[in-house]
Amino acid sequence: MHTDGGGGATTPLWMDGVVVPTYAPLARDTYADVCVIGAGIAGLTTAYLLAREGRSVIVVDQGPVGGGETGRSTGHLTAVLQDRYVDLERLHGAERARLIAGSHTAAIDRIAAIVSAEDIDCGFGRVDGCLVAADGEGRDRLDREAAAMRRAGLAGVTVHDRGPAGWFVTRPCLTVPHQAQIDPVAYVTALAQAIVRDGGRIVSGTRAISVEGGMPARVGTAGGATVTAAAVVVATHTPINDVVTMHTKLAAYRTYVIGLKVRRGGRQPLLLWDTGRPEHYVRIRPAPDDRSPDVVLVGGEDHRTGQADDSAARFARLEAWALDRLHIAGVTDFRWSGQIVEPVDGLAYIGRNPGVVPNVYIATGDAGNGLTHGTIAGIVLTDLLADRASPWAALYDPSRRSVRASGEYLRENLNVVGRYARWLTPGAVPRVGDVAPGQGAVLRRGMQKIACYRDAAGVLHERSAVCPHLYCIVEWNSAERTWDCPCHGSRFAPDGRVINGPAVDDLPPVDEPEA
């Protein structure tokens, strides 16, 4: 299954005018050494590395290559993580903090090596990463974080009283050299082409609906064809093969991005974050020629998926933050949102799926660093499938228990429990006549909650508002024009078609549609 399937109404910078490659759907039963579900960076990196080692591999996706959350990222490649090293060291210990930093640094280096070996034109470039103190904070927090980073093995970390020249950052700033940025869609497109060149197969328009472990494993698809494989890798951003176990350790968030066109030059490319809550993040996509403007990407304003529908206000706050903190004013040509899957302890889950079946593997929990976590997943899973020792397998093991993260675990799961109260509330509108063209709303009809969408032609589409994963009531996302589940992040197109797991089924039809 695909992680987004083109369900977003907004267009990220990387997809603007870009023809993303698609491949023919799976027409008949087939076999491969490894079946990879998901054509984002985690799935394609895994398939690429396996194909390079001579393994037969097939990638199954409902949508186009990179058309999900990979295409909605901002192209940051960094070992500066959303969870600070002070906290990672406290949660996981000093040795594991060193492994965390080393794995993300190695992921950046592996992407650089692949870009060079495959001669990929994807805007890869080395830049500094800058962590800026939020308003009201001095250097103390940054000094402690810099010390934790150095203990974790990150080299060249320095703290300054103000940010780099040209960015008008007057707050204290921590700098980590030798990070990188990339056009994620161009990169994974080239990975897909290399996979096919090396004998791998990619199928689009093919939704995986079941994963059965065993010897061999089987992947069932909505079209009826089955993939039989020695092993299955579920790289669908959030696992579709597990109903409960992993999803109690994950929380889905929406994050927002604007792209400001500004005068070319005057600012050195860098990656920038602040320590605020919510966090903001910045990068610049340099102009491709002298006639074009630079594009500054500014993101943040995160919230739990399905638990807010105020995107216009969030985009406006990003614009105000860019003007106030960075003195950047320009034409906002791009607005989009993406989905982040947060693990309770700050680390992705990569490896064998928890349980007794040995040949099903997962990659999830990107924690806002999906491109490096996805690359780490490709490296670790390839080692595991080749029965090689991996220095990071234990670190990212999906079966791990993080006792020190129990407070976060409890908080996120209490949030989920609270969402079931939506079964008892009235609808967002009292009747279908209140649903405007191009918009959706949940209404109550007797004991049913109905997801009502009226298309641009005025035709009403009604589906049950009950998410088929664990029966939460979905909410309308007016920016992306999707139905979003506030419990575990499943997302559905306006007509109820599933586009993002953990759900694998569409929203059910209603018992008695309104005439």
Model confidence at 4, in pLDDT bands (50, 70, 90)?
very low
Claim to verify: residue 236 and residue 154 sit in the same structural domain: no
What would the 3-class secondary structure string for 409-476 be?
HHHHHHHHHHHHHHHHCCCCCCCHHHCCCCEEEEEEECCEEEEEEECCCCCEEEEECECCCCCCECEE
Residue 31 pLDDT greater than 80, yes or no: yes
Predicted pLDDT at 418: 76
- 448 within domain boundaries: yes
Claim to verify: residue 151 and residue 273 sit in the same structural domain: yes
- Mean pLDDT across 465-491: 94
- 439 within domain boundaries: yes
Predicted pLDDT at 360: 96
CATH of residue 438's domain is 2.102.10.10
CATH of residue 270's domain is 3.30.9.10
Length of the chain (residues): 515
- 328 within domain boundaries: yes
- 112 within domain boundaries: no
- The residue among 412, 434, 461 that closes a domain is 412
Q: What percent of the chain has pLDDT over 90?
A: 72
Claim to verify: residue 339 and residue 473 sit in the same structural domain: no
- 111 within domain boundaries: no
Count up the domains in the chain and report the number.
3
Claim to verify: residue 271 and residue 173 sit in the same structural domain: yes
- The residue among 292, 310, 343 that closes a domain is 343
pTM value? 0.93
Q: What tokens appear for 85 in the block?
A: 């090293």
Distance separating alpha carbons of residues 25 and 210, to the nearest angstrom: 17
Claim to verify: residue 259 and residue 173 sit in the same structural domain: yes
Predicted pLDDT at 283: 94
Claim to verify: residue 362 and residue 438 sit in the same structural domain: no
Where is average pLDDT lowest: 30-39, 428-437, 457-466, 483-492?
428-437
CB 246 within 8 A of CB 237: no
Distance separating alpha carbons of residues 274 and 326, to the nearest angstrom: 12
Query: What's the angle, vertex CA 80, arms to CA 74 and CA 86, rounded to 5?
Result: 140
Predicted pLDDT at 2: 38
From residue 323, alpha-carbon distances to 287, 319, 329, 426 in Å are: 20, 6, 6, 40
Distance separating alpha carbons of residues 213 and 231, to the nearest angstrom: 8
Of 297, 289, 296, the residue nearest 267 (C-alpha): 296
- 334 within domain boundaries: yes
Claim to verify: residue 313 and residue 225 sit in the same structural domain: no
Phi, psi of 148 (to 5 degrees): -65, -40
Of 467, 468, 443, the residue nearest 454 (C-alpha): 443
- 118 within domain boundaries: no
Distance separating alpha carbons of residues 267 and 128, to the nearest angstrom: 13
Cα 101 to its chain centre, rounded Å, is: 20
Claim to verify: residue 389 and residue 288 sit in the same structural domain: no
Claim to verify: residue 255 and residue 163 sit in the same structural domain: yes
Claim to verify: residue 239 and residue 254 sit in the same structural domain: no
Claim to verify: residue 175 and residue 254 sit in the same structural domain: yes
What would the 3-class secondary structure string for 278-315 be?
CCEEEEEECCCCCCCCEEEEEEEEEEECCCCCCHHHHH
Torsion of CA 338, 339, 340, 342, to 10 degrees: 160
Claim to verify: residue 127 and residue 172 sit in the same structural domain: yes
- The residue among 383, 412, 441 that closes a domain is 412
Residue 331 pLDDT greater than 60, yes or no: yes
- 103 within domain boundaries: no
Question: Using one digit for the tens of pLDDT, what is the confidence trace for 171-195?
Answer: 899 999 999 999 999 999 999 999 9
Range of the domain at 189: 13-72+185-248+346-412
